[in-house]
Chains A and B, each alone.
Chain A
Amino acid sequence: MIDSEALSGGFTHPVFQSQSAFRMLMDGMARPGTIQTVATDVGQPEPLRTAAGAIALTLCDHETPVWLSAGLGKSVVGEWIGFHTGAPLTREKAEARFAFLEPGITPASFGLFALGSQEYPDRSTTLVLEVAALRLEAGSGQKLTLSGPGILQSREIWIDGLPDSFSRLWIDNRALFPRGVDVILTAGRDLLCLPRTTKIAA
C-alpha cells in the first residue's frame, strides 16, 4: 500500500517553480559558495528537507535513477520522488544520476558513485547532501575557503554538520578531474553548490 504522504506535496505551479529552482541551481553552480534559498514549499516527506525536495522535483525524471541513503531509503521519500517525478530508485551508486543523503551520513568514498569517463565526464552522479546549516558569516561550524571557476579570488563559507571526512573526499574527487561528482549541499531551504572544479581549503 502506498503511503498517502507520498502522494501529497509537489510544486503547485510546476512550470514556473521548477524554472525558479533551476535558476537558483544554475546561479549556484556558476558561483560556487553562494547560498540560494528556496522560498516555495514543496510538501516533501521527512527526513527530506525543502531545498532537497525542490531539487528532486526540478531535475529528476524517468531518465535519472535516484539513489537514497539508508535513512531516506527507509522513509516514504523514495515513493514521493517516484510519484512526483517518475524517477526510478536504484541501489547501485554507480547507476545513480542523483543521490540524496540525509544529515550525518559520511560516505566512505565518492568513488562508488558514477564518476563519468574521461571521454564523457558529464555522466556522473550529482550528490545532494543535507547539512545542519550554511552560513556566509563567521559562526559555528567548519570554515571552508573556496576558489576556482566562478569565484573571484576566494570565498569563505561556514558549514554546520559537514561530515569530517568531506575535505579528504573532496581532494580525492578533485584529483580525478575532469571526472568526478558534483555536490549540492542543502540545509533546510538553503542550498550551496560545489561543482567538481571548486578547490576547498579548510
Chain B
Amino acid sequence: MNQINLKELERKAFLSTYQDGLWDMCIGLIVICMSFFLYRPATGYSPLNIVLVLACMALACALFLAGKKFITLPRMGQVKFGEKRTRRRKTMAIVLGVVVLFQAALLVIQFVGWRNPEFGAMLNEFFQERDAMDLAVATLGSLFVGPSMILVAYFMDLTRGYFIAVMIALTVFLMIYLNQPIYAIIIGILIAVPGVVLFLRFLQKYPLHREETKRE
C-alpha cells in the first residue's frame, strides 16, 4: 500500500480546483486588457481606454464565474477546505493590504517630493532624458506589480502562479517602456494558452455524469 501523506492529499485536492485552467485564461484576458489601459496613444489618453479596460475585465470575470458555475462544478464537484486554507487566505489579504499601503505611501512620497522645489529639481535633472524617465517608471511599475503577484502565487500554493507573476511584471515593464500593446497581447496569450490546454484536458478527464447526478 502506498503511504498516505495527509498534507499532500489536502494539497492535491486543493490544486485540483485549479486544474480547469479557467484562472489562467481569466488572467491572460486581464493582461490583454492591460494593453488598453497602459497604452498611451500619440493623440492623447482617451476615456475610451478606461471604458475598454472595464468592459474587457468585466468580460474576463464573467467568463471565469460562468465557467466555474456551469462547467467546473457540475463535473468536478464542490469542496470546502479547512481552517488552514482559510487562515492562509486571511494572511494573504493582510500581507497584500500591507504591500498596497506601502506602495501607496511610496507614491505619495514621490508626489510630495516632486512638488518640493529642491527635490523636484534634483529629480528633473536626473530624469532629463525621456528614456531614463520611462525606464525608471517602467521598473517601478513592474516592481509594484511583480512582488504582489508572487505573494499571491505563494499563498495560493500555485507553482505556475510564479510564471504568471513574472509575466505580468514583464507586461507592465514593456507596456510602460515601449508603449506597444502587442507585448501585453502576446504575454496575455502566453498565459492563457496553458489554461486552454488544461481546460481541454479537464473536459476529457471529468465528463458529466448526468444520470448519476440525478440518482444522487
Q: Do A and B bind each other?
A: no
Q: Could you tell me which B residues sit within 8 Å of A by CB distance?
A: none
Q: Could you tell me which A residues sit within 8 Å of B by CB distance?
A: none
